[in-house]
Structure 1
Amino acid sequence: MSSKSFTTSKSLSHLAVGSALITALSPTSFAAEADTEEGVSSLETITVTAESEKQSINNTVDSTATKMNLTLKETGRSVVQISEQEIDDLAAEDTRDLADYVASFHTESSAARRIIVRGIQTNIDNFMVNGLRSLQGGETGTGSKFPSTYNIESTTFLNGSDAILYGTGVGGGMVNVTTKKPQKKSQTTVGLKNRSFASSDTGYFERNQTSVNIDSTGELVGENVLYRLNAELTPDADGYQKIRSHDEQLIDASLTFLVGENTRITPRFEYTNLDRVGGSSWTDSVFTTNFANGTLGNTTNSYGSVINRGSYYGSPLDDANTETMTAELTVEHQLQNWKLTAKGALSKTESESSDLYISSSSGLGNSIGDTTFERKWVYAKGKDKYALMDVNAEGKFDLGSFEHHMLFGANFRHKETNFFRNFQDNAEAVGLYTIDLYDPDSQLYSAMPDSLRDGTYSTATDKEINLYLKDRITLNDFTLALGVGYTKYKGEEVSSSDDSFDQNLSNFIYDLGVVYKLNEDLNLFASYSQAYEPIDTSTLIQYGQDGVSYEPEESDNYEAGVKGTFFDKKLDASVTLFYINTKNPTTTETIGDDRVLTQELGEAFRSTGVEVDAVFHLNDQISSRISYAYTDAEDTSGDDAGVQADYTPHHAFSVWNSYTLQNEPLRFGLGMRAEGSRNDGDYNIPGYAEFDFGAYYELEKFDVSLVVRNLFDKNRVVTTPNWVSVEASDPRSINLDFKYRL
């Protein structure tokens, strides 16, 4: 069952109202500082412009969502851009943290690669890096993780599908991160960050993680070769749970070759390596009171409160490693009225993990109300390869009285996933690896059997070619945007048992948009776009049912809204109404001991709602950034018809406020993020409100910030990986960041 009201305490509600009214963000808080390079800026494919109090954010140029050089106001879609300064202000470690302040995006689903937008659950293919799909390493068994923020210049959240430009997938919405590029102006910044967890169930400052980083850019060889180096090292970092720790190395190195005045070539190389003690993140689970007392699913449909959030229910022998290498090349050439761009990327990820976990398998005999649990070992290993390319031309020309702004191009992707996972037999595990629910230190464990490391890969290969054409035709204050795309997709797989499967599909995709300039400050817009999503072949390997033929998922996305500035440019806002109709949606369900993929054929899902994003500048010292989403998403057929979609609150709201001291380099921030109650299968997750606080001291040579995430240490259920256990919210953390400019 779902509720449209927030479930929060009276005191938190009062604090929420106070947060929204009393403080605000300084004029520079959410403004990216962009250097304009003489003779180069016209070539910038992904443009982020600085904001000031007098410049509307809707007038910011952002081409990451549409691949076209448009301001956010000219883009007839719901788009939110987050700058480098905001990333720092939130002490965000990855794009999951950023999504906390974009009300329409939800990352609280059962796998680390999943996002939910407008009630539609999608996967890592909806994350882009510099306009190309991301396969930056992640946990074995989940494929990928959310991109880190250490090298990010800005992040753009686009609601709704855009299959014309990006091909299959991209349903619900997408996230594009823009990495930092070489600049002519020389600057080197070294930094030191520390995150300490401070709560009663995790210990106060007993669990800590420290990172050192560098960001250096400038001229390398004369004026025509520029460089950028970003690196971050995090050694022996504690997670908030006992036992869990990790070592991480992140490196991003790029060069820009300026060939004459009109050509720029930028190669980029990125390396990430993550070693975990305590296993992969998908086993990071705890228990609740209603599970422990045996009432869950019997006398209550609520999980109850979280117990032992600071405990890990795996073993000290659990471990995981992920290593990713990515090579990227961008070539840009400026003609008189046209810009030619070609991008390509190669990515390779190797990962493995071994976990002693509490299985939901009936063969182990675990059940609700037990205080002692049986566990068994699982071993997983993966090798993934990704090749991507996008070539396009963008230009403007006039035909009679009509102004044309055209984009045409093609993209190609080739993804190969090699994966196997071995579970220990139940009979071999019973009685050997028990753990106490209330005292996780009381457990039995021994080394994983070597035989589990032996296995044969199941190999999935996905290939796609996508051709696209968009034309924006403007007459006076009216713009008509037309688009057509053609995509051809081929998926092949060979399982570890030598069974084979292939799918060969093609489809034409269309979109349509209108933008009407009501006046200098206000635009009205309406748009239609599509999503076309064949079932990922690696998903079919793991969860597809024998003898079942799966159809592609298809969605029609309609939007209408207004973007502009109000009250003498003090309020900068966008309001979007949306309607989505989805055919052939799929989901994974547990049937017996197996996790299988099921599909509802035909029109079977609908989502409607409204999204509001605004920045309000009261004066030079006080302003606020606000995001709100109302979503009514439900199946229209089947057993769950009329029931709100899983992990999708009807109401979601966030506000970030900040106050800058007059004539002082000191400012303060206070943020709130809240969601109404959500469904999780047959159970209900109550709504919540969490608060974040920041203090920032900024001088010419150095910056110091202190950010407290989850200020009041809200301890809540976030999601459930299975019926056995839940995942909890991160506890209160104290984040210190020091940056020194050489």
Structure 2
Amino acid sequence: MSPTKRRCRPGFQSSRLHRAVKGVLLLSALTVSAAPYAESDADTLSVKHSYHIGGGSLSHVLSQFATASGLLFVAEARLTEGKTSAGLDGEYTVDEGFRKLLAGTGLNYTVTSDKTVTLKVVQRQSQFDSTTMPAVEVTGRVVYDANDPYNPNYSRANASTGTRTDTPLMETPISIQVVPRAVLQDQQSIQVGDAIKNVSGVFQGNTFGGFAEQFLIRGFNTSFNNYQDGFRWPASRLTMANVERVEVVKGAAANLYGRIEPGGMINVVTKRPQAAPYYALEQQFGSYDLYRTTADATGAINADGSLMYRLNVESLNKNSFRDFAFTDRVFVAPSLTWKISDRTQLDLDFMYSDEDTQEDYGVVASTLTRRPVNIPISRYLNEPSTDKSNTTLYNTAVTLSHAFNDDWKVKARFNYLNRNTVDPQTSGVFWDEDPSSATYGDMTRDFYGSWAESETYYGNVNLTGRFNTFGVEHQTLIGWEHYSGTSTLKTQYDPIDWGGATINIFHPVYRPTDPSNMPYFYQNGSGSNSNGVYFQDQITLFDKLHILGGGRYDWISDVGSGFAEVSAEAALANRKTTNNEGFSPRVGLLYQPWQWLSVYGNYVESMGSANGAIDAHGKLLDPQIGEQYEAGFKTSFFDQRLTSNVAFYHLSKKNMAVSVPGKPYSEAIGEARSQGVEIDVSGQVTDGLSLIGSYAYTDAVILKADNNQGNKLWNVPRNAGSLWAKYDIQQAELRGLSVGAGAYFQDTKQGNNANEYQLPGWGRIDALIKYQLPVAKTRTTLQFNIENLLDHQYYIASSPGLTTFVIPGQPRTFMGSVKIEF
């Protein structure tokens, strides 16, 4: 059966969006952005000092920085007039400080022999000029600000997710991987799953056709909980349209983030408003009628740069290699930053997303052949006429930060998320595998329809400070966090009349179930309310030994689902609440004998996800508990251009629910263990050659369970890896041209926890070609990507309990784009 083509959602006019984007972009004239370079005395530039300089006019900030560095600042007023700076906070050499402050201003500087700093305009020339480079540094390398939209670096020196502080990775005794914006752009990433393919030990889980994204980290699933700027999102799909980078923390992070799966967490860090103006418009198009338009605009609103904005917009319309599947999404995310004073800042963020998609459980597997059944990977086995889902998200965040002095700072955030979903689905339960049967291939399906509204409230306060005791440096964090959610759910469920929904997997005839005669069930109050207090101290001894210690105490109320056929109010009266509390410690030790090498280890305990099952007394079981031992080393070569992390870990999850045979209750006696080795490398090898690669050996098994004891955990390959490399051609006549390729592979993995079937091992090749046009005053980039170049058939995910939920990987897919930046 040929797939039904899905166009834009009724009521949404793409041209209206395009006109709006065009209006935003025309608010500013074209600007010239060039990386500054310096000419100065090497000794003067090489000494690092700590600076805490607030934002303001460029002239004022430069003067403050020069004075603090023991230099005399001289500049013509016309050079800095109307320009602003976000300030400087951290340890920098004079060279690094001036580069950061002057990035994007079109200015460079000179330090004369009498320690006088003067400014002059960069003479910008085309990157295609064979005699000059657009930016030159004394060390031979351009220095980019971490948030510079033109930053091409594949590695990041710092990360914030693992410690809630901006800490160098080489000083953090935790395994953290960062996928920066440059990688996301080169690979044309649209979803979180497109980014995590570059990280070791992280695998795609269930997606329900994209309705939500689940991942497995170190063998344990994330239960559809992903994070954005440290805030835990319920089941939903996050776009890359406003993403600066993706940070993955390996191992339990409960000591800072509360209840979380022990494998780790994925945190999407969003783009922030910048004082320097920047505008970008990109049009992507590809296989299966993919059309995606994105716009990004940022800059200062007032003359002194104290008020800044950012606006990200996305319009996505695409079909799929899967019959009937589609995704239509409209996304808008405005942000505002107000620097009230040199020490006080207010951030306002809003996000709106409206997404239509098709529920999709994929194809099926056989317990006889122990492999996915040989049917077309495009075959759709849900019900196309009814299984159309919608998710609407409204998110509002307010963040206030204040620096009491140069060492102590407080930051408070409040977040409100409203999530509405409509999610009917006709999913397979089991199918007749007997080739001799008259009903061979018939799959029994179950209809479930839901209409849900949930509200999530989140607030936290963090106090950070630096101090010194008897020559010992401390960076301390003390915090409080609140998380609560309420939901109202109306469902229709047909557990008896399955006959009308039966479909044959070899010869499908679609017959939707009529839900008009089904009763409604109501569920109210499911979710959890939690309060947690946490502390952390990062201690530095002798500039080489870094000690991390801390923990979190949580008070959690798990609200069980209250069901009723009468009304939502009756369901509210039937719900049950179970209270839990516990302490989650974390300690780590890192020794850095040389600047290029760090050796580390850590121990973590965590109070993990709630058990949904009840005990013999009708009480929800105690939550799952995670425990991890980890050791490894990190390297940083070529002036931090190429970094790596090698980790050895042993991770266990206890208190897992195990059903009691013949009884309607369970016991918290289950246990699973994962151990292995992970290797991650990213950065620049030579001029023009950048790469990001990974390898993971994962041994994940079920130690204690009812029927699956000794089995391997589902969807976890023992061996998996990736290598993506891009080369910017250096020859003058071809400058602006980039080529790239990536290889990804996974070993055979179990399809479910019963180990009844396996997903075969696979490998695929991706490719890239990109060309930056020599257009004055703008950066125009043409890009073309190919995914699965050799058109290899493979399967990426399955279900922990069913054989009727197997997700095929994409066949050969093309994507092109045209991007204009100025």
Fold-level similarity (TM above 0.5)? yes
Q: For 2:729, which of 661, 682, 686 is the aligned residue?
A: 661
Task: Please say if 1:172 is aligned against 2:263.
Answer: yes
Q: 1:114 is matched with which residue: 195, 214, 225?
A: 214
1:598 Cα deviation after fit: 5.8
- Cα 1:50–1:525, aligned 2, differ >3 Å: closer, same or farther? farther
How far 1:55 moved relative to its partner? 9.1
Distance 1:530 1:48 in 2: 32
Name the SS for the 1:213 alignment partner: strand
Question: In the alignment, is residue 457 of structure 1 matched against residue 535 of structure 2?
Answer: no
Matched, 1:241 2:316: no
User: How many Å separate the matches in 1 of 2:151 and 2:762?
Assistant: 32
- Count matched residues: 659
The CA deviation at 1:683 is 1.4
Does residue 42 (structure 1) correspond to residue 89 (structure 2)? The answer is yes
Match of 2:102 in 1: none
Once residues 268 and 284 of structure 2 are traced to their aligned partners in structure 1, the CA distance between those partners, rounded to angstroms, is 22
Verify: 1:636 aligned to 2:706, yes or no: no
Report if aligned partners of 1:109, 1:647 keep a CA contact under 8 Å in 2: no
2:559 to 492, 500, 511: 492
Aligned: 1:732 with 2:812: yes
Q: Which amino acid aligns with 1:607?
A: S
Kindly state the Cα deviation for residue 175 of structure 1 after the two structures are TM-superposed: 0.8
CA separation of 1:55/1:565 partners in 2, compared to 1, >3 Å: closer, same or farther?
farther
1:468 Cα deviation (Å)? 0.8
**Identity value in percent:** 21
Tell me, in whole angstroms, the C-alpha distance in 2 between the residues paired with 1:527 and 1:219. 43
For residue 167 of structure 2, give the secondary structure of its aligned residue in structure 1: coil
Listed as ranges, the matches of 1:126-137 within 5 Å are: 127-135=226-234
- Please report how far the alpha carbon of residue 361 of structure 1 lies from its aligned counterpart in structure 2 after TM superposition: 9.0
Q: Is the 8 A contact 1:53 1:617 kept in 2?
A: no
Mapping of residues 117-196 of structure 1, within 5 Å:
117-125=217-225, 127-135=226-234, 144-196=235-287
| Alignment correspondent of 1:501 | 576
1:77 partnered with 2:174:
yes
How far apart, in 1, do the equivalents of 2:415 and 2:630 lie?
32
Instruction: Determine the C-alpha separation between the residues in 1 that align with 2:558 and 2:189.
Output: 36
Asked if the contact 2:633–2:645 (Cα under 8 Å) also holds between the matched residues in 1, the reply is yes
Taking the aligned partners of 2:213 and 2:468, their CA distance within structure 1 comes to 44
| Counterpart contact for 2:430–2:443, Cα < 8 Å | no
Distance in 1, matches of 2:325 and 2:154, equals 45
Matched-pair contact (CA < 8 Å) for 1:343–1:390: yes
Alignment-mate amino acid for residue 397 of structure 1: F
In 2: Cα distance, 1:709 partner to 1:608 partner = 31
User: 1:225 is aligned with what amino acid?
Assistant: L
What is the CA distance between 1:85 and its match in structure 2?
1.5
The answer to whether the 8 Å contact 1:124/1:146 transfers is no
Q: Which segments of 5 or more consecutive residues in structure 2 lack a partner in the other structure?
A: 1-34, 36-54, 59-83, 92-144, 565-570
Cα deviation code 1:100-155 (max 9, x no counterpart): 11121112347644321111223233x211111123xxxxxxxx124211110111
Contact 1:161–1:170 at 8 Å: present in 2 too? yes
Q: State the Cα distance separating 1:503 from its structure 2 match.
A: 1.0
The corresponding residue for 1:17 is none
Q: Decide whether aligned partners of structure 1 residues 711 and 56 sit closer, same or farther in structure 2, where only a CA change above 3 A counts.
A: closer
In the alignment, the residues of structure 1 paired with residue 690 and residue 350 of structure 2 have an alpha-carbon distance, to the nearest angstrom, of 38
Give the conservation status (yes or no) of the 8 Å contact 2:162–2:174.
Answer: no
TM superposition score normalised by structure 2: 0.74
**1:521 and 1:209 mapped to 2: Cα distance?**
44
SS in 2 for 1:85: helix
1:31 aligns to what? none
Q: Matched residue of 1:97: which SS?
A: helix
Q: Which residue of 2 aligns with 1:63?
A: 160
> Which residue identity is paired with 1:649?
P
Which letter does structure 2 place at the counterpart of 1:42? D
> Cα gap change, 1:67/1:587 in structure 2, threshold over 3 Å: closer, same or farther?
farther
Partner of 2:340: 259
- Distance in 2 of aligned mates of 1:368 and 1:66: 60
* Contact 2:622/2:668 (<8 A) preserved: no
Per-residue deviation, 1:434: 5.0
Cα offsets for 1:299-335 (capped at 9, x unmatched): x323354524254542334322111100011112222
Counterparts in 2 of 1:597 and 1:329: CA distance versus 1, 3 Å? farther
Aligned match of 2:493? 423
Q: CA deviation at 1:367?
A: 8.9
AA at the equivalent of 2:331:
L
Question: Residues of 2 paired with 1:471 and 1:162: CA distance?
Answer: 15
Tell me if structure 2 keeps the 8 A contact 1:402–1:475: yes
Task: Determine helix, strand or coil for the equivalent of 1:457.
Answer: strand
After TM superposition, give the deviation of residue 677 of structure 1 in Å: 0.9
Seen in structure 2, the aligned counterparts of structure 1 residues 530 and 217 have a Cα distance that, compared at 3 Å, is same
Partner of 2:691: 624
Equivalent residue runs for 1:638-717 within 5 Å = 638=705, 639-662=707-730, 663=732, 664-681=735-752, 682-699=756-773, 700-717=778-795
1:465 aligned partner, one-letter code: N
Counterpart-to-counterpart distance in 2, 1:597 and 1:103: 37
Q: CA deviation at 1:426?
A: 3.6
Q: Which moved more, 1:83-92 or 1:153-162?
A: 83-92
| Closer/same/farther in 2, CA of residues 658 and 492 from structure 1, 3 Å limit | same
Q: 2:633 aligns with which of 545, 552, 562?
A: 562
Measured after TM superposition, the shift of residue 525 of structure 1 is: 1.0
Does residue 286 in structure 1 map to residue 363 in structure 2? yes
Identify which range, 683-692 or 723-732, moves more after superposition. Answer: 723-732
User: Are residues 1:481 and 2:548 paired?
Assistant: yes
Counterpart of 2:601? 526
Distance 2:816 2:439 in 1: 41
Residues 307, 114 of structure 1: alpha-carbon distance in 2 compared, 3 angstrom cutoff = same
Structure 2 CA distance for aligned equivalents of residues 644 and 528 of structure 1:
24
The separation in 2 between residues aligned to 1:147 and 1:230, in whole angstroms, is 14
Q: Which has the larger radius of gyration?
A: 2
Residue by residue over 1:192-243, the C-alpha shift from the partner in whole angstroms, topping out at 9 and shown as x without a partner, is: 11131xxxxxxxxxx31212221111122332211111011124x3232232
1: CA distance between counterparts of 2:308 and 2:651?
A: 45
The one-letter code of the counterpart of 2:797 is T
SS in 1 for 2:560: strand
* Matched position secondary structure for 1:643: coil
Q: Which runs of 5+ in 1 are unaligned?
A: 1-27, 29-34, 136-143, 197-206
Aligned to 2:200: 103
Tell me which amino acid in the other structure corresponds to 2:255. I
Indicate yes or no: 2:681 matched with 1:614.
yes
- Find out whether 1:225 has 2:307 as its counterpart: yes
Distance change >3 Å, CA 317–CA 481, structure 1 → 2? closer
- What SS does the corresponding residue of 2:589 show, helix, strand or coil? strand
Match runs of 1:276-425 below 5 Å: 276=357, 279-280=358-359, 283-287=360-364, 296-298=366-368, 300-311=369-380, 313-334=382-403, 335-360=405-430, 370-373=440-443, 375=445, 377-424=447-494
Shift of 1:75: 1.0
The answer to whether the Cα contact below 8 Å between 2:744 and 2:764 also exists between their aligned partners in 1 is yes
State how far apart, in whole Å, the 2-side matches of 1:635 and 1:654 are.
27
Q: CA 1:347–1:717 in 2, change beyond 3 Å: closer, same or farther?
A: same
The 3 A distance-change label for structure 1 pair 361 and 307 is: closer
Identify the range of structure 1 (604-613 vs 150-159) with the bigger mean alpha-carbon deviation.
604-613
1:306/1:339 CA distance change after superposition, 3 Å: farther
Question: Is the contact between residue 436 and residue 443 of structure 1 (CA under 8 Å) also seen in structure 2?
Answer: no
247 and 341 in structure 1: CA distance in 2 versus 1, 3 angstrom threshold: same
Contact 2:717 2:747 in 1 (8 A): yes
Q: Does the aligned pair in 2 maintain the 1:286–1:313 contact within 8 Å? A: no
Deviation at 1:600, TM superposition (A): 4.8
Q: Deviations over 1:340-363 (max 9, x none)?
A: 21112100101112234444399x
Superposed CA offset, 1:530-584 (max 9, x none):
2212416xx55xx999846412111111111111235887753211111113211
CA contact (8 A) 2:147 2:244 kept: no
Change (3 A) 1:323 1:41: farther
Greater mean deviation of Cα atoms: 523-532 or 219-228: 219-228
What secondary structure does 1:645 align onto?
coil
SS at match of 1:96: helix
Q: What's the C-alpha RMSD, in Å, of the aligned pairs? A: 3.2
Contact 1:718 1:727 in 2 (8 A): yes
Pair 1:368–1:84, CA change in 2 (3 A): farther
